[in-house]
Amino acid sequence: MKLSREEVEKLADLAKLKLSDEEIDLYQKQMKEVLTYVDKINELDLEKIKESLSGAEDSKLGPRPDKATLSQPEIIKQACQMEDSYMVAPNVFDN
């Protein structure tokens, strides 16, 4: 099982996590151990087996339609910072 330090750094970036050098070293080691263990499923010949999405009969329903169940003020009142009735978030694009 190969997992380079650079790969771990790249994963942290994708996962939106800022890791210290110690954390990167630790996760590199621990992830290798876990991935080596889980790789045992590749001993199986699975080519002709269909995939199951869950333990139940795969639902044909699909997701329920989204609908608002609460008012906007109720939902956003826990935001850190508000301006008028809007939540303030950091800039998405550089100025």
Cβ proximity of 29 and 57 under 8 Å: no
Amino acid at site 59: S
Question: CB of residue 6 vs other proteins: minimum separation in angstroms?
Answer: 13
CA angle at residue 13 from 10 to 52, to 5 degrees? 80
Applying CB under 8 A, which of residues 2, 68, 85, 91 lies at the interface with other proteins?
Answer: 91
Q: Which long-range contacts (CB under 8 A, 24 or more apart) does 74-80 make?
A: none
14 to 33: interface string for other proteins, x by CB under 8 A: xxxxxx---x---x--xx-x
Q: Which long-range contacts (CB under 8 A, 24 or more apart) does 8-17 make?
A: none
Q: Which is nearer to other proteins, 21 or 92 (CB)?
A: 92
62 binds other proteins (CB under 8 A): yes
Binding positions for other proteins, rule: CB under 8 A? 3, 7-8, 11-12, 14-19, 23, 27, 30-31, 33-35, 37-42, 44, 46, 49-56, 59, 61-64, 69-70, 74-75, 78-81, 87, 89-92, 94
